[in-house]
Structure 1
Amino acid sequence: MRNHTSLTSSILLGLTDDPQLQILIFIFLLITYMLSVTVNLSIIILTLVDSQLKTAMYFFLQNFSFLEILFTSACIPRFLYSLSTGDRTITYNACICQLFLIDVFAVTEFFLLANMPFHRYVAIYKPLHYMTIMNYRVCNRLVFCCWMTSLLIILPPLSLGLDLEFCASNAIDHFACDANPMLKISCSDTWLIEQMVIVCAVMTFLMTLVCVVLSYMYIIRTILRLPSAQQRTKAFSTCSSHIIVVSITYGSCIFVYIKPSAKAEMAINKGVSILTTSISPMLNPFIYTLRNKQVKQAFHDVVKRFILFSRN
C-alpha cells in the first residue's frame, strides 16, 4: 500500500489475545465507563439545577466533567465493541477521527486544569470581589480559549499525518488509534511529524504545568498571610482536590515518557492509556466532591425533590 488512500481499514491489536483476560478487561472497562459517565453526568446536572452551585468553581467543574465524558467516550465504547464482537477492524477515516477527538479532549483538559487554580486564587486573595472578577463572561472566555488553544496545537501535526503512506502492515499496536503506533507502521518519512508531536506535547505539558505551579505559589503565599489557623486550614482544603487530580494527570503523562526500555514502551503506553481513559475520569468527580459539603447537600436536595415528585 503505497498511498494512504488505499489504506481503507486498520486492525487495532488491543491489550491481549487471551480470551479469558479479554472477558475480565471487558467487564472492568464496562463498569468503570458506566460509573464514569454516571458520576460526571450527575455533577453536570447538579451544577445546572442547583442555584448554590452557580459559581466559577462549579462552572469549571461542570466543563471538566463534560470533557471527561467526551474523552472516555472517544475510545472506550469502540474498544468494548471490539472485545464483545471480536471485530478489531476500524476504517481509516474513523481512526483519524478518533485520534483527533482523543487528542483534542485530552489537551483541552490540560488547559482547563491550568485555568482552574485562577478562580481559587481570586477566592482566597479577593473574596469580596470574587463574583465580580469571576463572572459568567470571564469563565466562558477562559473555557473557549482552552478549546481554541487545543485545536491550534493539534491541527498542524494531524494535517501532516493525513499524507502518510502505509506499505505493509495495517495493524496498530494499541486498543485505540494513537499517534505513535500509527507512525510506526508508516513507510513515509515521519521525522517531521514525530518532532512536531513531541514539541506540541512538551509545549502543552510545560505551559499548563508552569501555570499550575505559579498559581499555587501565589495561592500558598496568600494563604500563609491569613491571620487565623482555621482560615489557612480551610483555604488549603479547598485546593487539595485539584492538586490530587493534577498530580494524577501529570504523573501519568510523565510515566509514559519515562520508559524502562524500548521493548516495554508500547505495553506501558497502553497500560497508562487505560488508566487515563477509564479510571481517572471515574475517580476525578469523587475526588472533587468527596469533601465538598455544597455538592453533597445539592445531591441530597435533588434526591428529595425527585422522591417528592415521584410520590405526587
Structure 2
Amino acid sequence: MTTHFASIKAAHNVSERSIWRSVKVADPKLGKHVLIEYRPPLKSEVKEERVRASELWMRRFTKQPAPPSPSTDDTPPPPVAIPRTPEDLNTAKLEIVIWVDAKKFYIKPKAHKVWGTRGSDSIVVQDSRARGAWVVHYYSAVNYKLGAVLIVLVSGTHGKGYKPAKTYAPKGRKCKARGPTAAEFKDFIKACLKVWNDEFCETLPPIFSWDNTRIHGNYRDEADGWGSLGIDTETHMQLPPYSPDMHSVIELSHARLMHEMQQFINNREGGPGDSLEPYTESLGELFQATITPEWAKATTHRLFIDVLPAILQANGDYPPKKYR
C-alpha cells in the first residue's frame, strides 16, 4: 500500500474494499483495465495457524539440532533453527513432496483487442479467440526431484473441437460440471501416485500438499476415502487458509507456465479453422519444458530459506511482496 493511498484511507476512515468499490461505481470500465490485488487482513487465529504450520514445516524439512537429553513430555521444544543455505535443508524429505493446485486461464491473444466489423473501411480480425470464450481448467503437480509431475485438463475446459476424455457431474446432480469436482480431484491424485510409483516404486510414498478448497475434502475424514490412497497426517501437509505464499512452489509454477503460454497464444495466428487442440498440446509441452527439476529445487529452497522465515518474522502476517 502506497503512502498516498494509506493517507486517503486514514483521512476518510474507509477500507481498501470500499475505496475500490467507489472507484468502480464512478467508472465501471476501469475494472476491465486495472487489476487490484486485495488481501483482507488476517485474523489473529489464522496468523497463529500460519506460524504453527511454518514452524512445523521447518522442523520437518530442515536440519534441526537434536533435543537436549534427557527430555520429558513437559520439556518445551527447542527454538526452530532457521535455514540459511540449501545445505541446511533435509533434501531427502523435500524430494518426496508433491505440490498440487488448480488453474484456469483464457485462450485470448493480447496482440489485438477488437473483434468485429465496423463499416466498409474497418479491419476485420477473423479470430474467434478474441472473444475470450475459450477457457482451460487444469490440475498440475510439481515435485522437487521430478520437476513437472503431471498436468491434466479438467471440467470447465471449453473450446472449439475439445471433447473431454471423461465427463464429471457435481455431487448429487446429473448435469455436466462447470469446474473441477471432488471425484475429478481424487482421480488426479490417483494419477499422480501412478506416475510416482512408476518412477520410485511403492516403497517410497510421497507427501502431498494442496489447499483447502471444499472439493478436496478432508483427509482426516474416513468418509472422504483418502485413507485408502495412503493420504494421512504423515503423507499430507496441512496448508493454513489464505496462504498462497506458503504454497509458492506450485503457485509460481502457474505464473511461469502462464507467461510461456501467453507468448504462444500471442504468436499463433488464429483463424476460422483454429481449435483448442494446439493450445492444450502446447500447455503440456511447455509444462514439461519450463518446470524442470532445477527450477523446482530453486523454488523450494526459496520457500524454506526466504518465505517461511519471513512469515515467522511477521508473526504469521503476510510477508513483503517479494516473498509471496
TM-score for both structures, normalised by structure 1: 0.25
Structure whose alpha-carbon radius of gyration is higher: 2
Relative contact order, higher structure (CA 8 A, sep 6+): 1
Higher share in helix: 1
Higher share in strand: 2
